[in-house]
Amino acid sequence: MALSVLWMESPLTRNSGRSFMSEKPVYVTTPIYYVNDAPHLGSAYTTIAADVLARFGRLQNRETFFLTGTDEHGEKLANRAKELGEETQAMVDRFAKVFHDSWKEIGISFDDFIRTTEERHREIVLHLMNKAIAHGDVYLGDYVDWYCVSDETFWTEGQLQGGKCPSCGREVKKLVEKNYFFKISKYTEKLLKHIEANPDFILPASKRNEVVAMLKEGVRDISASRTSFTWGIPFPQGPEAGQDRHVIYVWFDALVNYVSALDPLGKPERFKRLWPQATHLIGKDILKFHAIFWPCFLMSVDLPLPKRIFAHGWWTVEGQKMSKSLGNTVDPVQMSRTYGKDALRLFMFREFPMGSDGDFSMANFKARVNADLANNLGNLVSRTLNLISKNLDGRWKAPTHSAPGTEDVWESARQASSSITGPANAEETSMERFEYFNILQSTFSFVTSLNKYFDTKAPWTLAKDPSKKQELTEVLSSVAEGIRVAACMLWPFLPDTCDEISRRLGVKTPLSLRELGYGNLLRPGGAGAEERVITMGQPLFPRIQ
Ligand SMILES: [Zn+2]
């Protein structure tokens, strides 16, 4: 191969020569979590998936905003505080801290943590509700239905299962009360048109189809206020003579966090940039609220719709439904303490695509971590650095051309890189479509191909023959540069590991190289060819027994 033949062409640069087509901001949200719980496998899954996308946005040097937070209003919490003999606000402060601190501990890089009891949130909720009222979209009516306190959801007679809540199986109570209603029916036709014109608005496609079916069947107007409890934001209208005080119904409170956190009144320019890029990552159980109620409310208050709603599947644990009573919940904080932050991050997205349901089993977790991290990636790093240390005085440089025999390696790198960015003319990257499963599959194939090349070239044998020094240098440098590239590809998923790999290779961390442009980070030779000095260390991932 001619010296001038360069390293693989970057799929990121092949069209425009610029770093990448998308310089749009990344705004990713998780649902705000109800504070009567602690983080579990399900909420960690959503939150880590959002974290991966946020890190990807930052690595691409795009303006990135990652929001999570807590939902702190509603009857259930008021009741709980009464049971505990505690002030409700003091209790939710305590619970919210558990979420905040747990996410911090497992390395979640959120930019903001919003709480629905904050004044900045209340102000926007009232602002938007007043707008909906001014638009004539709110009316007073009678609500008669079955209510599940635990889920804060109304069910029709026909939806009950054996007289109980179809979602959680708990007792429901019949409620008749004066409510303000939001005229959702006024906007469903418009929403249907939006979904048809924007097929990627709701992903995966199976969930989009569910929403379309619900809309076609007809959606009832929903309560915008409640009077059965007071722990919430007072409704801006009422009470009428002889009526109880109204509190804003929890969904019109909670969903608004996605807007209120951006401070639309205080920072209108930033709001205009970020809001239309909003990607709501949710569990499939709250699809209807996010994909029907929320867009209809946004239309009512004249705000653009978010870019995307992505509903992921559910986890079982060892083949069983996760539940506190079964005692089979997986604590993400404990997992992180025992196996490091990255092991669970890898497992979550490596086993099945994000729209599907999946199972967590300890045996599969260990097998996955051992195969990918200990054997494949960890072993490659360790043996490469060992030979560089012993034979090249601990120094290497990225080769300036692709060495003989590396064709398959760089083809595999190119494929991994394409899997991240997606088809050449796509409007957005595969990362933004949460195709994490495919991306990790391709990236670990690339790591495998580096190991294969290493085995084929047998640099430990080359090291015994002084006349082969040139070839030895070429092989080890090629592999080291391949590892650098893999670390940049994997960084959003495995940030600690990839930072540590970079440190040992003697290169800057992926994030601190982002000024070079994302295309260069993923291109062999793209981060420069200066001399690097390696640092040796303990195995990155000891095998889990
Ligand atoms: Zn329920």
CA of residue 185 to ligand 1 center, whole Å: 25
CA distances from 84 to 90, 219, 533 (A): 11, 38, 58
CA of residue 150 to ligand 1 center, whole Å: 5
CA of residue 149 to ligand 1 center, whole Å: 7
CA of residue 152 to ligand 1 center, whole Å: 7
Instruction: Say what the pLDDT of residue 38 is.
Output: 87
Q: Which is it for strands 138-148 and 173-182: parallel, antiparallel or unpaired?
A: antiparallel
- Please compute Rg for the chain using Cα positions: 26
CA of residue 16 to ligand 1 center, whole Å: 52
CA of residue 379 to ligand 1 center, whole Å: 48
CA of residue 168 to ligand 1 center, whole Å: 4
pLDDT higher than threshold 90 for residue 177? no
CA of residue 254 to ligand 1 center, whole Å: 18
Q: What is the mean pLDDT of residues 502-521?
A: 96
Q: What is the mean pLDDT of residues 453-480?
A: 97
Q: Report H helices in 341-468.
A: 341-350, 362-368, 379-391, 407-421, 436-457, 459-462
CA of residue 37 to ligand 1 center, whole Å: 15
Return the higher-pLDDT residue of 176 and 138: 138
Return the higher-pLDDT residue of 424 and 8: 424
Instruction: Say what the pLDDT of residue 9 is.
Output: 54
CA of residue 285 to ligand 1 center, whole Å: 12
Q: Give me the amino acid identity at 469.
A: K
Instruction: Say what the pLDDT of residue 130 is.
Output: 96
CA of residue 245 to ligand 1 center, whole Å: 25
Helix, strand, coil proportions of the chain in percent (round to 5)? 50, 15, 35
Backbone angles phi, psi at 309, to 5 degrees: -120, 120
pLDDT higher than threshold 80 for residue 111? yes
Instruction: Say what the pLDDT of residue 194 is.
Output: 98
CA of residue 490 to ligand 1 center, whole Å: 39
Task: Please count the other Cβ atoms lying within 10 Å of the Cβ belonging to residue 344.
Answer: 23
Task: Please count the other Cβ atoms lying within 10 Å of the Cβ belonging to residue 503.
Answer: 14
Q: Which residues pair with 282 in a beta bridge?
A: 311
Q: Give me the amino acid identity at 383.
A: R
How confident is the model over 316-368, as pLDDT tens digits?
A: 999 998 887 778 889 999 999 999 999 999 999 999 999 999 999 999 999 99
Rounded CA gap, 177 and 22, in Å? 50
Q: Which residues pair with 532 in a beta bridge?
A: 396
Q: Which residues pair with 27 in a beta bridge?
A: 65, 278
CA of residue 151 to ligand 1 center, whole Å: 5
Q: At what angle do helices 88-105 and 332-339 cross, to 10 degrees?
A: 30
CA of residue 146 to ligand 1 center, whole Å: 10
pLDDT band at 156 (very low <50, low <70, confident <90, very high): confident
CA of residue 162 to ligand 1 center, whole Å: 13
Tokens 């990257």 appear where? Answer: 429
CA of residue 324 to ligand 1 center, whole Å: 15
Do 184 and 219 form a contact (C-beta atoms < 8 A)?
yes
pLDDT band at 178 (very low <50, low <70, confident <90, very high): confident
Rounded CA gap, 149 and 391, in Å? 68
Q: Which is it for strands 532-533 and 395-396: parallel, antiparallel or unpaired?
A: antiparallel
Instruction: Say what the pLDDT of residue 297 is.
Output: 98
Instruction: Say what the pLDDT of residue 15 is.
Output: 39
CA of residue 171 to ligand 1 center, whole Å: 8
Task: Please count the other Cβ atoms lying within 10 Å of the Cβ belonging to residue 222.
Answer: 22
CA of residue 512 to ligand 1 center, whole Å: 47
How confident is the model over 179-212, as pLDDT tens digits?
A: 899 999 999 999 999 999 999 999 999 999 999 9
Sign of CA dihedral 101, 254, 431, 507: negative
CA of residue 154 to ligand 1 center, whole Å: 9
Mean pLDDT of the residues in the chain: 93
pLDDT higher than threshold 90 for residue 377? yes
Q: CA 248, 27, 315, 199: dihedral to nearest 10 degrees?
A: 90
Instruction: Say what the pLDDT of residue 429 is.
Output: 93
Do 284 and 312 form a contact (C-beta atoms < 8 A)?
yes
CA of residue 169 to ligand 1 center, whole Å: 6
CA of residue 70 to ligand 1 center, whole Å: 20
**What residues are neighbours of ligand 1 (ion), with CB under 5 Å?**
148, 150-151, 165, 167-168, 170
Rounded CA gap, 320 and 333, in Å? 21
CA of residue 148 to ligand 1 center, whole Å: 5
DSSP 373: I
Rounded CA gap, 164 and 398, in Å? 65
Do 494 and 346 form a contact (C-beta atoms < 8 A)?
yes
Provide the whole-model pTM.
Answer: 0.93
Return the higher-pLDDT residue of 237 and 27: 27
pLDDT higher than threshold 50 for residue 2? no
Q: What angle do CA 307, 517, 376 make, to 5 degrees?
A: 90
CA of residue 250 to ligand 1 center, whole Å: 15
pLDDT band at 7 (very low <50, low <70, confident <90, very high): low
Q: In the β-sheet with 173-182, what is the strand arrangement from edge to edge?
A: 153-155, 138-148, 173-182, 222-223
Instruction: Say what the pLDDT of residue 457 is.
Output: 97
Instruction: Say what the pLDDT of residue 13 is.
Output: 45
CA atoms within 13 A on the CB side of 2: 3
CA of residue 286 to ligand 1 center, whole Å: 13
Percent of the chain scoring above 90 in pLDDT: 83
CA of residue 167 to ligand 1 center, whole Å: 5
Q: Give me the amino acid identity at 39.
A: P
CA of residue 147 to ligand 1 center, whole Å: 8
How confident is the model over 402-431, as pLDDT tens digits?
A: 999 999 999 999 999 999 998 877 889 999
Q: Which residues pair with 321 in a beta bridge?
A: 316
Q: What is the mean pLDDT of residues 220-226?
A: 91
CA of residue 155 to ligand 1 center, whole Å: 9
Q: What is the mean pLDDT of residues 511-523?
A: 95
CA of residue 289 to ligand 1 center, whole Å: 15
Please list, residue by residue across 64-86, b when 16 or more beta carbons sit within 10 angstroms of its beta carbon and e when fewer do: bbbbbbbbbbbbbbbebbeeeee
Helix H, strand E, coil C: the string for 256-294 is CHHHHCCCCCCCHHHHHHHHHHEEEEEEHHHHHHHHHHH
Lowest mean pLDDT: which of 22-36, 272-286, 382-396?
22-36
CA of residue 160 to ligand 1 center, whole Å: 10
How confident is the model over 273-282, as pLDDT tens digits?
A: 999 999 999 9
Instruction: Say what the pLDDT of residue 8 is.
Output: 55
Percent of the chain scoring above 70 in pLDDT: 95
CA atoms within 13 A on the CB side of 279: 28
CA of residue 79 to ligand 1 center, whole Å: 16
